[in-house]
Amino acid sequence: MMKQTLISALVLASLSAPAFAAREAGDFIVRAGWAQVSPDESSEDVLGAGEFSVDEDNQLGLNFTYMLTDAWAIEVLAATPFKHNVSLGAFSEIAEVTHLPPAVMAQYYFGSDKIRPYVGAGINYTYFWDEEFKSNVSGALTDLELSDSWGLAAQVGIDYELNQNWLINASIWYLDIQTDVEFNQTLDMSQPEHQNIKTDIDPWVYMVSVGYKF
């Protein structure tokens, strides 16, 4: 429901944007608010048990925008670290992983009034750490590690300017995240067998925030 409401709000606002000069080249905008990473994951078959699944997480989202002109801008997406539980087929929450997915975007803003819809495209770098299996599979699966990822990113968003400095924002991001999930599998008393599972996480990121322009 939250996702549908946010998408509907972005579409309606973009269709109703009037015309009024609200910002100019050299303006700097800082936004902070609620951000949800919702993975659209897929992977190779894992040990005959199916694919990995990754749950969503909510954190403090941050972005920093510099207006190059009154319509073109550069934005950096940041956040506090996201932590996800990983499941495998019928085995729920077998692992936990933490990551940060900063992205740099080139943006174009439509209209020139208090309501400013925009689109953006750029590049994402995702850094993984604190990967670990949980006690329900420890011993059989060990030494979990995810490779860092470079990928494309895209976004659509809208600003509503409350006054000369303050605004509210809603935005949706899509991040292309591909990683190699590596771990060791031990059956009975045999030697550990190394596994490498190619996994796409490809999350949608939903963000609602308050911004300050100066």
Instruction: Identify the pLDDT of residue 188.
Output: 67
Convert the pLDDT of each residue in 177-203 to its tens digit: 999 999 998 876 677 889 999 999 999
Q: Residue 141 above 60 pLDDT?
A: yes
Domain boundaries of the chain, sorted by first residue = 2-17+25-213
Mean pLDDT of 117-122: 98
Instruction: Identify the pLDDT of residue 14.
Output: 47
Q: Strand locations in 25-90, DSSP E?
A: 28-38, 42-43, 52-54, 57-67, 72-79, 82-88
Instruction: Identify the pLDDT of residue 17.
Output: 45
Instruction: Identify the pLDDT of residue 23.
Output: 79
CA 2 to chain centre: 16
Convert the pLDDT of each residue in 9-51 to its tens digit: 555 544 544 444 467 899 999 999 999 999 999 999 988 889 9
Convert the pLDDT of each residue in 66-113 to its tens digit: 999 999 999 999 999 999 999 998 888 999 999 999 999 999 999 878
Instruction: Identify the pLDDT of residue 165.
Output: 92
Instruction: Identify the pLDDT of residue 91.
Output: 86
Instruction: Identify the pLDDT of residue 8.
Output: 58
Q: Residue 119 above 90 pLDDT?
A: yes
- Placement of tokens 């590690």 in the chain: 145
Instruction: Identify the pLDDT of residue 33.
Output: 98
- From the list 60, 14, 23, 2, the residue with the least C-alpha distance to 167 is 23
- From the list 146, 158, 99, the residue with the least C-alpha distance to 124 is 99
User: Going by DSSP bridges, is the β-strand pair 82-88/91-100 parallel, antiparallel, or unpaired?
Assistant: antiparallel
Instruction: Identify the pLDDT of residue 1.
Output: 57
Q: Residue 2 above 60 pLDDT?
A: no
φ, ψ of residue 129 to 5 degrees: the values are -155, 175
Q: Is 46 helix (H, G, I), strand (E, B) or coil?
A: coil
Give the separation between CA 190 and CA 35, rounded to whole angstroms.
44
Q: Provide the mean pLDDT of the chain.
A: 89
Q: Assign a CATH topology to domain 2-17+25-213.
A: Porin (2.40.160)
Q: Residue 6 above 80 pLDDT?
A: no
